[in-house]
Amino acid sequence: MQVKIPVLAALVVLTTVLAIPLATHPTAGNVGLNPGDAGNTWYVYGPNAGAVTRLQYTYYNGNTGGTGSEFQDFELGNLDLTDWPTDDVHWASAGCTDATNPACYDAHPDFLQTPIQGQFGDFGFYFNGASSRFTRSQEAPGGAANGPFWGCDWNDGLTSTSFTVNKQTYTSQCGIYQRQAFGHLFDRATFSANRELANLVCPSPVAKDPSCAPLQVGQDGLTVAQQCAWDTLNGGSACIDAYRIAPSGGDGQQPVGSPDFCRAADLMIASLTPGTQGTTYTGPVPTKASGTCVLNFGTGGVPSTFTANKFRAMIRSTQPRRDMGNEFMASLNALFGATVVVPQYGTINTIGHPIVFSDPPKSPIDDWDMYTYGYQLPGPYPDHMHGLYNSQGATTYCGGLQSVEPNDPQFVCLPSIDAATAAASTAPCVKGSTTGSAFQGIGSRPNDANIYCTTASGNKIDFNTATTASFNDWGANAVDLPVFAQEVRTAALRSEGGLVNQLGQGYYTPSLTFAGQSSYTPSNSLYRFGGGDPTKLRWGQLQGTSEFNIFQAQSVWEFQAIGQIYDVLTTNSPVQPGNVFCWMCANYQTSTDSAGNEHFLVELRQNLRFQDGSPVTAWDVKFTYQNFRDAAPATVGGNFFNMLNIKVLDSTHLDVAWLGASISYPLFMGNYVIPAKYWVPSDCSFSSGSGWSCTNASETNPSGIPLADGTNAVYGDVPVVDAAKLDPSYDPLTAGTLIGSGAYECLSVFTSDLGKLGTGCAQNSDGSRATQALGLSAKLFLQAFLLSPSASDPFAQYMRSFDATWSTGSGVAAEKGQFQEFSYADQAKTGTVTISDLASVGACFGNSGTATSGCNTAAYTYWHRSAFESTPGTISGEVAIVASHLDDALTSPFSPSPSVLLNIAPYP
C-alpha cells in the first residue's frame, strides 16, 4: 500500500504474515540479519496461544530522540520493538560504540539493530497546485477566483475548467520556471549525504526498478543526461544531476551567490517576465543583484503581492524534515531578500490531516502552499505513480471522484503523466521482448531497447518503459522535489525472538511478524521481553492517530493498529515482495475475457470468521472492495482505480474483474476485508443464499459511478456503504464496531464493559477511555483472536492460529489451533488439502485399528484422534475435520517450501 507518512494515500500491498516465537535471532555482534540471509525466517501462521497473545501500543510525540520520544522509552526498557528507522547517532559507524550506553544500539548487548538497507520510501517537498499563490484558485465550481498572487498561473489559467475533466495543472512555462527555481535553491544530494540518507531524484525509492541515476547495473530508469535536460534555462552551465549545478558546500541550503542560487534567480525572473506563458505579473520585473543574485525589484522593494501573500510552508516537526523545511524557507527568503515565507510546524495530526491532505467540504483547498511530505511505498514495483500523480486522484478539481482527503493532494493533472501512468497501470509485463517505437517522447529505455510485452491481444507497453516515461514527464514539469529515502535500520530487544527483517522496511512493517520471548537472557533485566511478561509485546508508535475509520485512515500509525484487526485477501513474502499468495483465500485462478480484461476467480478458505463469530463471505469481499474503490478512492481504495465489477458466485467464490492486465493486480488484490454488517445502511438485510437487499433500492443500484472501462459500477447483491459511516467523525472504537477477522481483536479493558468486542481497547495518558484520536502516551491494547472456552463454533478463532494443544481435550475446544488442524488435514504435506486427503481419511471411517486395503496401519495411526471420535478408537469425526478444510491452501499458488519462498519456515 502506499502509506502516507502522511500515510496511506493508497494501498499498494500489505504484508500480513504472523509469526510465532521459536528461537533467538542470530546476530553478528548485535547487528541482525539481512532480509535474504538464512535465519531470517518468516511464518505463515500465528498468533501462538503459547506465546504472545497481547499487543500493547504506546504512542509518542513524533520525535526520534529526546524527552518523550519513542527511542528514549526503548532505551529505558519500556518497549520491545520500535516502529521507525533509527537515527545514525545510534550506529557504530557514526562512532556510538560504548556498550554501556543504551543509546549505542549496535554496541549494547541487549539490543538488536538491522543492517542498513534502502527504504521503500519517498520524502521531499510538494506543492499545492490549486493555491491562490500559484493559480486562479477556486473552492467550488463557479466560485470566486483568487490569485495568482505570485505572478504566475501554474495551470491552464481557465477558471471555467476547474472541477472538470478538462482541467490541466502544472502545465504553464512560468510555473515550470518557478518550481525549477525551488529545485535549485535546495541541494538534495548534500542534505542526504550529511545524514546518511539515500538521495532521491525521482519520486520513487532507489531500491526499486526503474529509478533515476545513479542506476545499478541492469537497472532501468533515467540517466543524468536526461535529468539535466529538464533544466529549461541551463545557461551553458554544467549540471551534475536534476536541478543542481554544484554542491552547496554546506547542507541543503544553497548559499547566496552560488551557481544554483543564481540559476534560481534567473528562473524566477523568467517566470515574472511578460510574454512567458502563464505570467500574470504586472509589477517591476526583478534583476539580479551583482555578486549575490538576490532579486532586485527596484526602489519600491519586494512588491506586496509577495509579502502580503506569503508562501505558506507546512513543515513537519520531526527530523530531518524540520531541517529540510527550514533550509528551503531560508533559501527562498534569501532569494527575495525579504521574508516571503511563513512556516507552520506540526505533525500529521496537526498540519497533515486537517490542512494539507483535506479538501472541501472538510477544509479549504487554498490553505497551504508547500509540505514536507513522506510516503512509505512497499511492494516490489514503483507502481504508485498512478495513485499519487494521475488526475483521477485529484478529487473533483480535475473531474475525479469526490474525496475529502484526495490521493493527489497537490492537484497534479498533467495529460502526459496521465497517459504514462495509465499505460503503466495496465502493463502485463515488467520488461518487454518486442522492439517498438518510442513512448512519450523519451526514446527507448536507457538499458533495454525492447519496450513492448507481447500478448494474445497485441503488443502492450511494458511497465518499465511507461514508468520511466512518467518519471521523465514529471521531472520536466518539476512537479515536486523528492529529497531522500531513509537508510533503514530498526531496533528491537534482543530478548524478542522470531524477528523478521522485511525488505525495504526492517523490523517495522505495516503488519509485523509477531514473535515472542527468545532464549537470550539479557545482561540487564530491564531489557526482558514484555518487561518480564512473555505473553505481551510492547510496540512503540512514533506518533498518534486521528482515525480508526478504515474509510478515512491514512497514516502508517493508524494502519499499524487496524491492520491487526482487519485481515487481507492476499499477501506477499516479506523478503520476496513480488511473490503474492493467498491469505484469506484458498486459491485464485486468473483468466482473460474477450475484451482483454483480467479476471481473478477467488475461492475463500472455509474457516474464515469475523471476531464476532459470523462467517466471512464473498459478499463481504465484494462490499469491501467496491466501496473502497468508490467511496474511499484516496485511501484504502487507492489501488482499485482499474477494478471493474465483482460477481459473487456463492458464499465462498467470487470473480473480480480488472481493466486489461497488469503485473500489479495480484498485489492490489491484497486489501483488507471488513464485515459488511457493520457498515451497510440500516434498512439493509442479508440472506446467506443471495446476499444483501435494501428497502431503498438505490442503495444496491447506485447510478452514475463510472468505472475505468467507461461502464458504471454494478452493486446488486451488496449495497453502498452507509453515508454516515463515511464521515470522518464516525469512530468505530467508540461505536463498538472496530471488528474484523484479523489475528488480534479489540476487547474492552474497562470495568464497565470488560471484554466487550470492538470498543474500549484504548486509553488516554491519564488512564481514561480513549477515542480513535490517540495522543501522547496513549495506549492501545489488542488481544489474540483465539478460540474462547465457551465457543460453540470451532472456527471462531483466527484462521491461522497456532496452538500446540490441538486435538487434546474434547468437543469444540479440541480444535483450537487452526494451523495444526490444517496441517493435519493435509496428509500429503503439499500445502493444500486435496480430495486425496479426504479420500484417505474417508477410507478409514469406522476403522478401529484393523488394517484394511483402504486403511493400512500407517493411515489409521495418522488419522486417529480420540478427541474427534464418538467411540474412542474408532475413526469418525476426523472425516468432517478434513472435509471442512478441503481445497484450503497455505500459500497458493506457491509451495510452502524454503526452496520456493525464500526463508519461509519449513512446513509442516
Angle at alpha carbon of residue 774, lines to 762 and 197, rounded to 5°: 125
d(CA 537, CA 500): 15
Q: What is the CA radius of gyration of the chain?
A: 28
Predicted confidence at residue 557, as pLDDT, reads 94
Could you tell me what percent of the chain has a pLDDT over 90?
79
Q: For residue 443, is pLDDT > 50?
A: no
d(CA 498, CA 653): 35
d(CA 207, CA 210): 9
Q: What residue type is assigned to position 710 of the chain?
A: G
Q: For residue 687, is pLDDT > 70?
A: yes
Predicted confidence at residue 206, as pLDDT, reads 84
Backbone φ and ψ of 481, nearest 5°? -130, 85
d(CA 438, CA 449): 9
d(CA 144, CA 157): 14
Q: For residue 510, is pLDDT > 90?
A: no
d(CA 800, CA 44): 8
What mean pLDDT comes out for the span 539-565?
94
What mean pLDDT comes out for the span 819-830?
97
Q: Which distant-in-sequence residues (6+ apart) come within 8 Å of 758 by Cβ?
A: 611, 612, 732, 733, 735, 736, 737, 738, 739, 746
Predicted confidence at residue 514, as pLDDT, reads 53
Residue 506, C-alpha cell as written in the block: 526492517
Q: What residue type is assigned to position 295 of the chain?
A: L
Q: What residue type is assigned to position 349 of the chain?
A: N
Question: What are the pLDDT digits (tens) for 697-740?
Answer: 999 999 989 999 999 999 999 999 999 999 989 999 999 999 99
d(CA 40, CA 501): 7
* Burial letters 747-768, b for 16+ CB under 10 A, else e: bbbeeeeeeebbbbbbbbeeee
Predicted confidence at residue 509, as pLDDT, reads 46
Q: What residue type is assigned to position 765 of the chain?
A: S
d(CA 520, CA 828): 36
What mean pLDDT comes out for the span 169-182?
98
Query: Which residues, listed in sequence order, are joined to residue 346 by a DSSP beta bridge?
Result: 316
Predicted confidence at residue 609, as pLDDT, reads 99
Q: What residue type is assigned to position 245 of the chain?
A: I
Under 8 Å between Cβ of 828 and 896: no
What mean pLDDT comes out for the span 421-441?
79
Q: For residue 4, is pLDDT > 50?
A: no
Predicted confidence at residue 454, as pLDDT, reads 82
- Least confident range from 232-246, 277-291, 704-718: namely 232-246
How confident is residue 7, by pLDDT bands cut at 50, 70 and 90? very low
Q: For residue 14, is pLDDT > 50?
A: no
Q: For residue 13, is pLDDT > 80?
A: no
pTM of the full structure: 0.92
- Least confident range from 166-180, 229-243, 361-375: namely 229-243
Q: For residue 10, is pLDDT > 80?
A: no
Residue 727, C-alpha cell as written in the block: 464521515
What mean pLDDT comes out for the span 163-176?
95
d(CA 410, CA 371): 9
Predicted confidence at residue 337, as pLDDT, reads 98
Question: What are the pLDDT digits (tens) for 444-498?
Answer: 444 445 578 888 777 888 999 899 999 999 999 999 999 999 999 999 999 998 8
Backbone φ and ψ of 230, nearest 5°? -65, -30
661-to-311, 463, 464, 598, 701 alpha-carbon distances in Å: 43, 11, 15, 5, 27
Q: For residue 15, is pLDDT > 80?
A: no
Predicted confidence at residue 670, as pLDDT, reads 96
Task: Return the C-alpha torsion angle 744, 746, 750, 752, nearest 10.
Answer: -130
How confident is residue 159, by pLDDT bands cut at 50, 70 and 90? confident
Predicted confidence at residue 436, as pLDDT, reads 67
Q: For residue 591, is pLDDT > 90?
A: yes
Backbone φ and ψ of 487, nearest 5°? -85, 105
Under 8 Å between Cβ of 485 and 205: yes
Closest CA to 721 of 550, 590, 890: 550
Question: What are the pLDDT digits (tens) for 301-330?
Answer: 999 999 999 999 999 999 999 999 999 999
**Where do the domains of the chain lie, and which CATH numbers do they carry?**
121-382 (3.10.105), 567-673+680-720 (3.90.76.10), 812-889 (no CATH)
E strand or H helix at 123: strand 121-127
d(CA 247, CA 241): 10
325-to-6, 88, 181, 351 alpha-carbon distances in Å: 16, 20, 16, 14
- Least confident range from 88-97, 401-410, 611-620, 744-753: namely 401-410
* Burial letters 243-262, b for 16+ CB under 10 A, else e: bbbbebeebbbbebbbbbbb
Q: Got the DSSP string for 767-804?
A: S-B--S---TT-EEEEEE----TT-SSTTSS-TT-B-T
Q: Which distant-in-sequence residues (6+ apart) come within 8 Å of 698 by Cβ?
A: none
- Judged by DSSP in three states, 573 sits in coil
Closest CA to 456 of 656, 594, 590, 588: 594
d(CA 699, CA 283): 55
Angle between helices 173-184 and 321-336 (to 10 degrees): 120
- How would you classify the pairing of strands 580-582 and 567-568? unpaired
d(CA 67, CA 537): 23
Q: Which distant-in-sequence residues (6+ apart) come within 8 Å of 216 by Cβ?
A: none
How confident is residue 274, by pLDDT bands cut at 50, 70 and 90? very high
Under 8 Å between Cβ of 620 and 674: yes
Predicted confidence at residue 24, as pLDDT, reads 38
Backbone φ and ψ of 684, nearest 5°? -100, 145
Q: For residue 544, is pLDDT > 80?
A: yes
Q: For residue 361, is pLDDT > 80?
A: yes
**At which residue does the C-alpha cell 532507489 appear?**
206
- Least confident range from 459-463, 585-589, 785-789: namely 459-463
d(CA 863, CA 872): 13
Residue 775, C-alpha cell as written in the block: 495522543
Q: What residue type is assigned to position 502 of the chain?
A: Q
Question: What are the pLDDT digits (tens) for 193-233?
Answer: 999 899 999 998 888 889 887 887 888 888 898 899 999 88
Question: What are the pLDDT digits (tens) for 27-53?
Answer: 334 789 999 999 999 999 999 999 999
Q: Got the DSSP string for 289-310?
A: PTTT--EE--TT-S-HHHHSS-
Residue 698, C-alpha cell as written in the block: 438505490
Task: Return the C-alpha torsion angle 827, 828, 834, 839, nearest 10.
Answer: -60
- Judged by DSSP in three states, 669 sits in coil
- Judged by DSSP in three states, 386 sits in helix
How confident is residue 401, by pLDDT bands cut at 50, 70 and 90? confident
Angle between helices 173-184 and 259-271 (to 10 degrees): 160
Closest CA to 124 of 371, 427, 351: 371
Question: What are the pLDDT digits (tens) for 848-901?
Answer: 999 999 999 999 999 999 999 999 999 999 999 999 999 999 999 999 999 999
Q: What secondary structure letter does DSSP report for 354?
A: I
Residue 251, C-alpha cell as written in the block: 547542507
E strand or H helix at 752: none
- Judged by DSSP in three states, 367 sits in coil
Backbone φ and ψ of 187, nearest 5°? -85, 95
Predicted confidence at residue 1, as pLDDT, reads 40
Residue 750, C-alpha cell as written in the block: 474497562
Closest CA to 787 of 745, 831, 724, 756: 745
| CB neighbour class for 792 (10 Å; exposed up to 12, middle 13-18, buried from 19) | exposed
d(CA 364, CA 306): 21
What mean pLDDT comes out for the span 327-340?
99
